[in-house]
Amino acid sequence: MVALTRSLLESALPGQRVLLVGGAARLLIPGRSGDTVLTAPDFLPASALEIAKACQAQYELCLGETSTAWTYFSPAAMLMPGERTGRYRLGTDTLVVDNNGESRISMEDFAVAMLDEAETPQHIQKAFTVGY
């Protein structure tokens, strides 16, 4: 994943934008001081740790890139098929959670948020996240 991201960033033409869909590993967990999704004890199942580490490395690669107009898009903790509502909330470095403390979004609304960012850029050389 890191090698592919490096290749995308390095091959971007001047003025060309790269919108990357990454993971939620980099995000802070509300109410847990300093804990990210990746570092919080028992937050991720063991089966998800390797991809979370790869997503974190992918994000760190972006942070060092200054010549490409990149955007790093992290999903909510739960990304699943569902209904397209067209409604969502944006965040930056903390999981977006609902009133029940759940971090989730449908794949359909995740796609809407990604297209909204592609059409009207708000996060150039920045990361953002989305949830209900």
β partners of residue 69: 17
Give the pLDDT band of residue 31 (cuts 50, 70, 90): confident
pLDDT at 26: 95
- What CATH number does residue 88 fall under? 3.40.50.720
**Taking residues 63-76, what's their average pLDDT?**
94
- Predicted structure pTM score: 0.91
Q: What percent of the chain has pLDDT over 90?
A: 84
Give residues with Cβ within 8 angstroms of 44, minimum separation 6.
37, 38, 52
Count up the domains in the chain and report the number: 1
Q: Is the pLDDT of residue 80 over 90?
A: yes
pLDDT at 93: 96
Q: Are 93 and 72 in contact (CB under 8 A)?
A: no
pLDDT at 125: 95
Token readout for 30 is 């509300």
Cα dihedral across residues 19, 21, 26, 27: positive or negative: positive
Q: What residue numbers bound the domain in which 17 lies?
A: 2-131
pLDDT at 42: 83
